[in-house]
């Protein structure tokens, strides 16, 4: 099994690296390919000519100039600043939730944990729409606090640096709750109690006893949130546009508007360098966290909250509903708001939906396209991610690390899309599948890694002693245990690919219309209420993950 | 005056309840002995302040600490999983409590060195706990707990996670360290040998109550009921009706005055010996005879343990009596043998549940 | 080989897993069927354009239908994203572009597009009916098919008085009340830049500095900005003079009004052209000519919400709300590569 397992692992790793680096490589080549240094749209120099090599090195040197330019520096600074501030705020908001979820049994605990799927599944454009509908000048929230007599925060807050940071923090804090909360829940209390008996008050005891073990998990989730905010694109453009722009925006512009691929490459290099540091941090904190959770000791069972704690939890849930779920609710309300005529008031109705089912039935077509393309991408991503995880687990049982799955997290999506279209040409259906598969499989691989890691070798070995071959042992002993998390990871991948608007957009749309693309086209055609209607359908499709997760009871 | 006085401590949760009174003199090591789930750990945690009792008082040197939070009770606690701080070195671990209690660095440093030398971990003080062996971590945990000279040391099965040889070795350390420190200690365990070696006063707990207490010899000589006999492995328990001779039956000592319910005949270890089947006569004086068949012979190094199945048709049908004999005595399975019991040392005890159900 | 049976309780976890796998199989089969259909062939006349042109509410479907009925030639419209992406795609694929016609460049991106040398001159009789002012390229490599003035739209239900000029926008009463688009990523943003350069000449940078406090948001594209506007985030938005026509047509309201500035507006002229590498230049020319005919141009107003290039086209009733007589300036951007970045930087700098 060992040598076979090793070969399989190498093959899977090779495939993963290929998926990651082929688009990247094709982009790099297209950027460094023989274009003259001042790419103002002149004729490309043909390869094979003597001038080609000269032009190549010219292009390479062209990379150095943008790297040092003030734009790059300020974009880098802004990217780091907003990501750091957003992460900090997300941690501050999320930690109390993590504490509650870990220590207490209360109504709404499971939904809290499922909330963490939202940042992965809701496309940014929906988030933006939702936030505007809720926190904007005429938003539900602003109107509500206005009616209550509390002065609003001022219209410009959302569009300032701190507005951006707040949006990011609200979008991502459930990740903290889920990751830190699950580790916290498994922490044995004995170290805290030991500190108490030695004279430490409750807070000091927490700091000495539990915090050192929570820290790796906290830093791990913080790294993840940092990565998401660092690569944030649409949200930054809308809410942070005035205070600065991130590297990703710069790359996007360079590729799609000025056609300056060298600049894009230079910016991407800086971006990936930073992201790799964050991803590396994520990996090392994950390992430390894994070591901690293997420590022994009795874990106190969760108790029902009493008194002040119960009030605190209720307050926290209320705040979450008001500030986090509120915007989503506003989205739903908007979808059912029909503005037949401005003279009359807006009324509740299905008009937005029926208009979409009108001539050409764009909604149905887009839905089917999405289901088939994104569905296929999700299935492929699940199979591939799980296979890679399995290969890692069985070939190197003991030390598990699908670090390969982290690499995609450090690469600019705009770059990947550009590389893919250079390879395959944009506009085809297959490219969309490949593109979405590339974004989803790393998450499947990481979550399956945890499941495979939790497999006790004992059951597999017991099967072997009873006469099973390695393959049979896998099928009969391990697979049934892993199957629920496989389904859960698959549902998660499905939500990601369904909700992904980036790949179809960045690939230029083409002839295939998916739900997210329909959404964008609606917003480009003045039809915002209908866009919300499509948004609801999209949100329902991506929320399938909640139901499957409930069914499989997977804390992930 | 007793150093530790626990009066009518009551604790009830989810159908599980504890009701206990006990006291310890200064410098004594008390052992809470009992099977899993008997409430000994809960009692310990109540004394520590990690659980809240429903009623009752806990006095240390006359002062009621029942309402104080754990950090104000001036205790030491050694946890089952040791609860060492993995991110601190050995020295820092030991210094932790002293720092919190405001003891100056110089003084605490001296104390740490002295303790560490006694416990033979002085060379390890710079290491982190995960870089130490099981026994070394154990001693570190002990040092940490006693460093600030607590009024009471509490230990919750601290040796249970170690393998047997290590456990024996550390028991010795623990015993001598407890003597040397002169600290009053309350130790929880389910291991009878450990209790005997460490305890000045033993409290046997069952279902949340103390069923026997006293010095080890007292309990050994006078177990209160058949359950304790079974738990402590003091001997065999046979049906009371086995002794048919009324004179003998009357002369049997009884324990548990006013005991209700069924009784069992307690045959302490060593009271039963093997004899030839032919020698089995009728009961006379303080000797009773039974016939039986050797069901199994187990070689135990310096002796053989024979399991004798008592005869069918008697009340002890299929009960086996285990009798230890000299190793060089030839005995084979299936042999018919006789068992002679010295009744002068036997007793009738209240049954208090089936003995075999509680045997650890 | 002994058979192994592991008794497994049919837990809900396993049931959900099985259900999920059934769904997966369904999806795979369905996708396999649809994935194959790539549709289209090299025989169709291929037009590259942008998203809203090919959307259900754009003109492409009707145009293809009309043209097919007229000539029997099938025309296929392929979207390359938004306007800026169209140009980028052209630059990347160069002569290998599998298109015959490109629809959707504009006067601001024209210089860069023409510099690629990818377009061929076209001889179009209907061009005579187009207003001479709209002609961007004498050689007719890129011809106008619709146009619109950039203008600020005002929400008449807001409490502010409408500004009358670009300079008015900088007044303190309009602080954080204006939504514009990013000149680095959108054509309206570029249009505003050209507008300010035409009105203020070299002093345009100072103008942007004065404008900064009035800006609530600078959105990446027109859609987000206009969406914010209709949601009431701000009473003024940069858009097209024809925007109110949509609201008149579909919402029967005249709430949103175009503000005509006396100093003149910059305009966006949308252009189409034939690719030199096309193998069906004659057919392409015929289609382009059709695009400029009254029949085709009549589709423009209520799909593109722009003015038709063909001056003889009748405008629909909804366009009555669009102010006539807006002065169109001849506006261009001095440094198309550097100025957008400079403008954005000026805004961010002032926002600190």
- Contact assignment for B70 to A204 by CB distance below 8 Å: no
- Whole-number pLDDT of residue A49: 44
Backbone angles phi, psi at C169, to 5 degrees: -60, -25
**One domain for residues A416 and A502:** yes
Q: How many CB atoms lie within 10 A of CB A230?
A: 24
**One domain for residues A347 and A329:** no
Token pair 């539990």 in the structure block, residue: A210
Residues forming a β-bridge with B18: B11
Instruction: Give the H/E segment covering residue A418.
Output: helix A413-424
Asked if chain C contacts chain A via 3 or more Cβ pairs within 8 Å, the reply is yes
Number of domains in chain A: 2
User: What pLDDT, in 10s, does the model give residues A315-332?
Assistant: 998 888 888 888 888 888
List the single residue in B50, B83, B148 with the smallest CB-CB distance to A191.
B83
Chains near A with 3+ CB pairs less than 8 A apart are B, C
CB B35 within 8 A of CB B190: yes
> Is the pLDDT confidence value at B311 over 90?
no
**One domain for residues C273 and C337:** no
Domain locations along chain B? 4-221, 226-355
**One domain for residues A304 and A407:** no
**Distance, CA of B19 to chain centre:** 19
Q: Which residues in chain A touch residue B74, judged by CB atoms under 8 angstroms apart?
A: 199
Q: Which residues in chain A touch residue B86, judged by CB atoms under 8 angstroms apart?
A: 212-213, 295
**One domain for residues A314 and A355:** no
Q: Which residues in chain A touch residue B75, judged by CB atoms under 8 angstroms apart?
A: 197
The lowest-confidence range among A350-354, A395-399, A405-409 is A395-399
CB B329 within 8 A of CB B304: yes
- Whole-number pLDDT of residue A1: 45
Q: From A312, A333, A354, give the residue that closes a domain.
A: A333
Residue B282 binned pLDDT confidence (cut-offs 50, 70, 90):
low
Token pair in block for residue A420: 């893919």
Which one is the CATH code of B4-221: 3.10.450.40, 3.40.50.300, 1.10.510.10, 3.30.390.50? 3.40.50.300
Chains near B with 3+ CB pairs less than 8 A apart are A
Within 13 Å, how many C-alpha atoms sit on residue B288's CB side?
24
**One domain for residues A154 and A246:** yes
What are the angstrom distances between the C-alpha of B118 and each of A181, B134, B175? 42, 17, 13
Percent of chain A with pLDDT over 90: 4
**One domain for residues A179 and A315:** yes
Within 13 Å, how many C-alpha atoms sit on residue B77's CB side?
28
Backbone angles phi, psi at A48, to 5 degrees: 90, -15
Token pair in block for residue C101: 């016609």
> Is the pLDDT confidence value at A142 over 90?
no
> Is the pLDDT confidence value at A66 over 70?
no
- Asked if residue A424 belongs to a domain, the reply is yes
Interface A–B counts its CB contacts (< 8 A) at 80
CA gap B339, C43 in Å, rounded:
109
- Whole-number pLDDT of residue C240: 93
**One domain for residues C341 and C212:** yes
Q: From A333, A355, A383, give the residue that closes a domain.
A: A333
Chains near C with 3+ CB pairs less than 8 A apart are A
Percent of chain C with pLDDT over 70: 86
Backbone angles phi, psi at B300, to 5 degrees: -120, 25
- Whole-number pLDDT of residue A263: 80
CA gap C233, C178 in Å, rounded:
9
CA gap B292, A11 in Å, rounded:
71
Token pair 């396999």 in the structure block, residue: C32
Q: Which residues in chain B touch residue A187, judged by CB atoms under 8 angstroms apart?
A: none
Asked if chain B contacts chain C via 3 or more Cβ pairs within 8 Å, the reply is no
Which B-chain residues 21-80 have CB contacts (< 8 A) with chain A?
48-50, 69-77, 79-80
CA gap A290, A217 in Å, rounded:
9
Q: Which residues in chain A touch residue B76, judged by CB atoms under 8 angstroms apart?
A: 197-198
Residue A39 binned pLDDT confidence (cut-offs 50, 70, 90):
very low
Q: Which residues in chain C touch residue A372, judged by CB atoms under 8 angstroms apart?
A: 27, 30-31, 34-35
Percent of chain B with pLDDT over 70: 87
Token pair in block for residue C17: 């897993």
**One domain for residues A485 and A545:** yes
Token pair 């069924």 in the structure block, residue: B262
- Asked if residue A53 belongs to a domain, the reply is no
- Whole-number pLDDT of residue C220: 78
- Contact assignment for B71 to A296 by CB distance below 8 Å: no
> Is the pLDDT confidence value at A89 over 90?
yes
> Is the pLDDT confidence value at A55 over 60?
no
The predicted model scores a pTM of: 0.77
- Which of A263, A330, A430, A526 is the best residue to mutate to test the C interface, defined by the most C CB atoms within 10 Å of its own CB? A526
CA gap B316, A190 in Å, rounded:
48
Token pair in block for residue C65: 């239908």
- Contact assignment for A193 to B77 by CB distance below 8 Å: yes
**One domain for residues C330 and C194:** yes
> Is the pLDDT confidence value at C109 over 50?
yes
Average pLDDT on C117-128 reads: 88
> Is the pLDDT confidence value at A25 over 60?
yes
Residue C18 binned pLDDT confidence (cut-offs 50, 70, 90):
low
Percent of chain A with pLDDT over 70: 77
Residue C165 binned pLDDT confidence (cut-offs 50, 70, 90):
very high
> Is the pLDDT confidence value at C215 over 60?
yes
What DSSP line would sit under A106-174, residue for residue?
A: -TTHHHHHHGGGHHHHS-HHHHHHHHHHHHSTTSHHHHHHHHTTPPP--TTGGGSHHHHHHHHHHHHHH
Q: Is C295 exposed, middle or buried (0-12, 13-18, 19+ CB in 10 A)?
A: middle
User: What pLDDT, in 10s, does the model give residues A475-511?
Assistant: 777 787 788 778 878 888 888 788 777 777 666 555 6
Q: How many CB atoms lie within 10 A of CB B190?
A: 19
**One domain for residues A368 and A487:** yes
Q: Give the helix ranges, DSSP H, for B292-351.
A: none
CB C234 within 8 A of CB C201: no
CB C255 within 8 A of CB A342: yes
Average pLDDT on A270-276 reads: 89
- Which of C5, C8, C13 is the best residue to mutate to test the A interface, defined by the most A CB atoms within 10 Å of its own CB? C13
**One domain for residues A272 and A368:** no
User: What pLDDT, in 10s, does the model give residues C47-98?
Assistant: 988 877 887 778 888 898 899 898 888 888 887 777 767 877 787 777 777 8
Token pair in block for residue B60: 């240390």
> What would the 3-class secondary structure string for chain C be?
CCCCCCCCCCCHHHHHHHHHHHHHHHHHHHHHHHHHCCCCCCCCEEEEECHHHHCCCCCHHHHHHHHHHHHCCCEEEEECCCHHHHHHHHHHHHHHCCCCEEEEEECCCHHHHHHCCCEECCCCHHHHHECHHHCCCCCCCCEEEEEEEEEEEEECCCCCCCCCCCHHHHCHHHCCCEEEECCCCCHHHHHHHHHHHHHHHHHHHHHHHHHHHHEEEEECCHHHHHHHHHCCCCCEEEEECCHHHHHHHHHCCCCEEEECCCCCECEEEEEEEEECCCCCHHHHHHHHHHHCCHHHHCCCHHHHCCEECECCCCCCHHHHHCCCCCCECCCCCCCCCCHHHHHHHHHHHHHC
- Asked if residue C21 belongs to a domain, the reply is no
Q: Which residues in chain C touch residue A30, judged by CB atoms under 8 angstroms apart?
A: 92
Instruction: Give the H/E segment covering residue B275.
Output: strand B272-276
> Is the pLDDT confidence value at A351 over 80?
no
- Asked if residue C169 belongs to a domain, the reply is yes
- Contact assignment for B148 to A196 by CB distance below 8 Å: no
Sequence-distant (6+) residues with CB within 8 A of A315 are: none
B63-64 and B55-60 as β-strands: parallel, antiparallel, unpaired? antiparallel
Q: Which residues in chain A touch residue C246, judged by CB atoms under 8 angstroms apart?
A: 526
- Contact assignment for C89 to A41 by CB distance below 8 Å: no
- Contact assignment for B97 to A201 by CB distance below 8 Å: no
Average pLDDT on B321-348 reads: 80
Token pair in block for residue B229: 């006999």
Closest-CA distance of chain C to residue A362, Å = 7
**One domain for residues C81 and C172:** no
- Whole-number pLDDT of residue A3: 64
Residue A348 binned pLDDT confidence (cut-offs 50, 70, 90):
low
Instruction: Give the H/E segment covering residue B357.
Output: helix B355-358
CA gap C26, A1 in Å, rounded:
34
Which B-chain residues 242-301 have CB contacts (< 8 A) with chain A?
none
Q: Which residues in chain C touch residue A265, judged by CB atoms under 8 angstroms apart?
A: none
User: What pLDDT, in 10s, does the model give residues B153-176?
Assistant: 999 998 887 888 888 888 888 888
**One domain for residues A451 and A505:** yes
What are the angstrom distances between the C-alpha of B78 and each of B25, B162, B174, B185, C302? 20, 14, 12, 11, 82
- Asked if residue A215 belongs to a domain, the reply is yes
Residue C225 binned pLDDT confidence (cut-offs 50, 70, 90):
confident
**One domain for residues C254 and C293:** no
- Contact assignment for C251 to A426 by CB distance below 8 Å: no
Residue C126 binned pLDDT confidence (cut-offs 50, 70, 90):
confident
- Whole-number pLDDT of residue C13: 56
What CATH code is carried by the domain that includes residue C305? 3.40.190.10
Average pLDDT on A222-238 reads: 83
> What would the 3-class secondary structure string for A246-302 be?
CHHHHHHHHHHCCCCHHHHHHHHHHHHHHHHHHHHHHHHHHHHHHHHHCCCCCCCCC
- Contact assignment for C226 to A476 by CB distance below 8 Å: no
Average pLDDT on A149-162 reads: 67
CA gap B192, B187 in Å, rounded:
12
- Whole-number pLDDT of residue B113: 92
What CATH code is carried by the domain that includes residue A234? 1.10.3720.10
- The answer to whether the Cα torsion of A405, A411, A416, A417 is positive or negative is positive
Asked if chain B contacts chain A via 3 or more Cβ pairs within 8 Å, the reply is yes
The lowest-confidence range among A58-62, A495-499, B53-57 is A58-62
Q: Which residues in chain C touch residue A427, judged by CB atoms under 8 angstroms apart?
A: 78, 80
> Is the pLDDT confidence value at C6 over 60?
no
List the single residue in B73, B81, B97 with the smallest CB-CB distance to A297.
B81
Mean pLDDT of chain A: 76
- Asked if residue A54 belongs to a domain, the reply is no
The lowest-confidence range among B20-34, B129-143, B250-264 is B250-264
Which one is the CATH code of B226-355: 2.40.50.140, 3.40.309.10, 1.20.58.340, 2.102.10.10? 2.40.50.140
Residue numbers of the domain that contains C77 = 45-147+268-318
- Whole-number pLDDT of residue A293: 53
- Whole-number pLDDT of residue C172: 93
For residue A459, give the chain C residue with the closest CA. Answer: C6
- Asked if residue A293 belongs to a domain, the reply is yes
CA gap A487, B71 in Å, rounded:
48
- Asked if residue A547 belongs to a domain, the reply is yes
Average pLDDT on A397-419 reads: 74
> Is the pLDDT confidence value at A84 over 90?
yes
The DSSP secondary-structure symbol of A367 reads H
List the single residue in C4, C16, C250 with the smallest CB-CB distance to A487.
C16
- Whole-number pLDDT of residue A524: 67
**One domain for residues C335 and C217:** yes
- Whole-number pLDDT of residue A36: 43
CA gap A111, A317 in Å, rounded:
10
Among A371, A374, A379, residue whose Cα is nearest residue A444: A379
Most confident range, picked from B61-65, B160-164, B341-345: B61-65
Among A551, B57, B242, residue whose Cα is nearest residue C14: A551
User: What pLDDT, in 10s, does the model give residues B77-94?
Assistant: 999 888 888 888 999 999
- Asked if residue A49 belongs to a domain, the reply is no
User: What pLDDT, in 10s, does the model give residues A441-452?
Assistant: 888 888 787 777
List the single residue in B50, B71, B79 with the smallest CB-CB distance to A199.
B71
- Whole-number pLDDT of residue C41: 46
**One domain for residues C278 and C335:** no
CA gap B9, A545 in Å, rounded:
51
Residue numbers of the domain that contains A137 = 67-333
**One domain for residues C210 and C239:** yes
Average pLDDT on A342-350 reads: 56
**One domain for residues C306 and C339:** no
- Asked if residue A304 belongs to a domain, the reply is yes
Residue B201 binned pLDDT confidence (cut-offs 50, 70, 90):
very high
CB C330 within 8 A of CB C324: no
> Is the pLDDT confidence value at A34 over 70?
no
């Amino acid at each position: 099994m060992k040598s076979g397992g090793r070969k399989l692992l190498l093959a899977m790793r090779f495939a993963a690296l290929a998926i990651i680096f082929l688009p990247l490589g094709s982009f790099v080549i297209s950027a460094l390919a023989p274009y003259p240094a001042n790419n103002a749209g002149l004729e490309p120099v043909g390869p094979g000519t003597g001038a080609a090599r000269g032009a190549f090195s010219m292009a390479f040197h062209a990379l150095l100039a943008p790297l040092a330019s003030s734009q790059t520096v300020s974009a880098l600074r802004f990217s780091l600043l907003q990501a750091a501030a957003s992460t900090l705020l997300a941690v501050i908001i999320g930690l109390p939730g993590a504490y509650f979820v870990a220590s207490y049994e209360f109504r709404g605990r499971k939904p809290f944990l499922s909330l963490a799927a939202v940042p992965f599944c809701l496309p940014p454009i929906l988030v933006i729409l939702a936030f505007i509908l809720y926190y904007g000048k005429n938003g539900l929230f602003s109107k509500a606090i206005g009616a209550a007599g509390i002065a609003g925060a001022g219209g410009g807050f959302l569009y300032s640096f701190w507005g951006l940071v707040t949006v990011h923090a609200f979008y991502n804090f459930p990740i903290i709750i889920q990751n830190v909360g699950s580790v916290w829940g498994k922490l044995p209390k004995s170290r805290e109690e030991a500190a108490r008996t030695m004279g430490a008050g409750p807070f000091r005891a927490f700091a000495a006893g539990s915090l050192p073990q929570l820290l790796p998990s906290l830093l791990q989730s913080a790294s993840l949130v940092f990565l998401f905010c660092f690569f944030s694109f649409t949200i930054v453009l809308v809410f942070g546009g005035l205070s600065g722009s991130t590297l990703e925006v710069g790359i996007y512009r360079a590729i799609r508007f000025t056609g300056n691929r060298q600049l894009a490459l230079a910016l991407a290099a800086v971006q990936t360098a930073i992201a790799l540091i964050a991803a590396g941090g994520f990996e090392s904190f994950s390992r430390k966290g894994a070591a901690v959770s293997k420590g022994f000791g009795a874990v106190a069972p969760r108790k029902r909250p009493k008194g002040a704690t119960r009030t605190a939890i209720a307050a926290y849930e209320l705040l979450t509903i008001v500030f986090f779920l509120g915007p989503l609710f506003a989205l739903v309300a908007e979808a059912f708001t029909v503005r037949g005529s401005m003279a009359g008031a807006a009324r509740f109705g299905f008009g937005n939906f029926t208009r979409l089912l009108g001539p050409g039935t764009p909604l149905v077509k887009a839905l089917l396209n999405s289901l088939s393309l994104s569905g296929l991408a999700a299935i492929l991503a699940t199979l591939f991610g799980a296979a890679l995880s399995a290969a890692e687990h069985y070939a190197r049982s003991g030390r598990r690390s699908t670090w390969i799955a982290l690499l995609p997290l450090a690469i600019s999506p705009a770059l990947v899309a550009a590389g893919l279209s250079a390879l395959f040409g944009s506009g085809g259906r297959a490219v969309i599948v490949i593109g979405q598969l590339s974004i989803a499989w790393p998450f499947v691989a990481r979550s399956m890694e945890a499941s495979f890691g939790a497999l006790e070798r004992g059951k597999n070995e017991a099967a072997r002693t009873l006469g099973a071959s390695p393959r049979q042992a896998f099928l009969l002993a391990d697979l049934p245990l892993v199957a629920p998390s496989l389904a859960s990871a698959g549902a998660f991948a499905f939500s990601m690919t369904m909700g992904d608007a980036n790949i179809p957009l960045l690939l230029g749309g083409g002839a295939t219309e998916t739900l997210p693309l329909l959404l964008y086209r609606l917003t480009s055609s003045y039809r915002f209420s209908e866009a919300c209607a499509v948004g609801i359908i999209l949100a329902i499709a991506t929320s399938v993950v909640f139901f499957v997760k409930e069914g499989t009871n997977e804390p992930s | 005056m007793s150093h530790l006085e626990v009066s009518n401590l009551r604790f009830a949760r989810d159908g599980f309840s504890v009701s206990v009174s006990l006291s310890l003199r200064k410098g004594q090591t008390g052992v809470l002995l009992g099977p899993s789930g008997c409430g000994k750990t809960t009692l310990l945690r109540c004394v520590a302040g990690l659980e809240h009792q429903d009623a009752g008082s806990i006095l240390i040197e006359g002062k009621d600490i029942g309402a104080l939070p754990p950090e104000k009770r001036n205790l030491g606690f050694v946890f089952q999983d040791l609860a060492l701080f993995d991110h601190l070195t050995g020295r820092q671990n030991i210094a932790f409590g002293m720092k919190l209690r405001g003891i100056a660095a110089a003084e605490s440093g001296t104390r740490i060195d002295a303790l560490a030398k006694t416990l033979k971990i002085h060379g390890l003080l710079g290491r982190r706990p995960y870089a130490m062996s099981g026994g070394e971590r154990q001693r570190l945990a002990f040092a940490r707990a006693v460093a600030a000279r607590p009024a009471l040391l509490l230990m919750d099965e601290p040796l249970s996670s170690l393998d047997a040889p290590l456990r024996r070795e550390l028991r010795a350390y623990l015993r001598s360290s407890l003597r040397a420190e002169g600290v009053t200690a309350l130790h929880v365990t389910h291991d009878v040998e450990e209790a005997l070696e460490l305890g000045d006063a033993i409290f046997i707990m069952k279902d949340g109550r103390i069923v026997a207490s006293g010095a080890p010899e007292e309990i050994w000589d006078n177990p209160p009921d058949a359950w304790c006999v079974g738990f402590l492995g003091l001997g065999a328990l046979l049906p009371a009706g086995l002794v048919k001779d009324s004179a003998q039956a009357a002369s049997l000592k009884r324990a548990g005055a006013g005991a209700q319910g069924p009784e069992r005949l307690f045959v302490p270890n060593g009271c039963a010996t093997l004899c030839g089947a032919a020698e089995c006569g009728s009961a006379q004086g303080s000797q009773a005879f039974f016939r039986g068949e050797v069901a199994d012979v187990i070689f135990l190094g310096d002796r053989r343990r024979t399991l004798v199945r008592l005869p069918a048709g008697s009340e002890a049908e299929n009960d086996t009596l285990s009798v230890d004999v000299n190793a060089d005595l030839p005995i084979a399975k299936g042999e018919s043998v006789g068992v002679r019991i010295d009744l002068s040392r036997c007793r009738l005890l209240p049954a208090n549940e089936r003995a075999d159900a509680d045997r650890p | 080989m002994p058979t192994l049976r592991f008794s497994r309780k049919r837990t809900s976890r396993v049931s959900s897993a099985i259900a999920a796998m059934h769904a997966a199989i369904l999806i795979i089969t369905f996708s396999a069927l649809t994935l194959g259909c790539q549709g289209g062939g090299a025989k169709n006349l291929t037009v590259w354009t942008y998203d809203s042109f090919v959307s259900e509410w754009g003109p492409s479907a009707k145009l293809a239908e009309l043209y097919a009925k007229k000539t029997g030639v099938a025309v296929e419209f392929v979207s390359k994203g938004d306007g800026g992406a169209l140009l980028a795609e052209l630059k990347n694929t160069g002569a290998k572009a599998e298109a015959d016609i490109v629809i959707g460049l504009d006067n601001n991106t024209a210089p860069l597009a023409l510099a690629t040398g990818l377009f061929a001159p076209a001889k179009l009789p209907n061009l005579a009916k187009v207003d001479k002012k709209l002609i961007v390229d004498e050689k007719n490599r890129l011809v106008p098919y619709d146009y619109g003035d950039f203008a600020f739209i005002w929400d008449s239900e807001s409490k502010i008085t409408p500004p009358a000029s670009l300079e008015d926008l900088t007044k303190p009463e309009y602080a954080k009340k204006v939504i514009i688009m990013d000149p680095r990523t959108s054509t309206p943003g570029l249009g505003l830049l050209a507008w300010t350069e035409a009105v203020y000449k070299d002093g345009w940078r100072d103008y942007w500095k004065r404008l900064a406090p009035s800006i609530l948001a600078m959105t990446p594209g027109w859609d987000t900005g206009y969406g914010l506007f209709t949601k009431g985030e701000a009473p003024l938005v940069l858009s097209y003079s024809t925007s109110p026509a949509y609201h008149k047509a579909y919402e029967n309201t005249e709430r949103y009004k175009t503000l005509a500035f006396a100093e003149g507006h910059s305009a966006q002229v949308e252009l189409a052209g034939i690719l030199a590498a096309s193998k069906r230049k004659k057919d392409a020319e015929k289609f382009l000519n059709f695009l400029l005919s009254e029949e085709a141009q009549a589709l423009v107003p209520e799909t593109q919400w722009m003015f038709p290039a063909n001056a003889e086209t009748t405008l629909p009733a909804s366009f009555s709300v669009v102010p006539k007589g807006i002065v169109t300036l001849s506006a261009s951007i001095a440094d198309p590569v550097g100025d957008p970045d400079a403008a954005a930087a000026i805004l961010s700098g002032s926002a600190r």
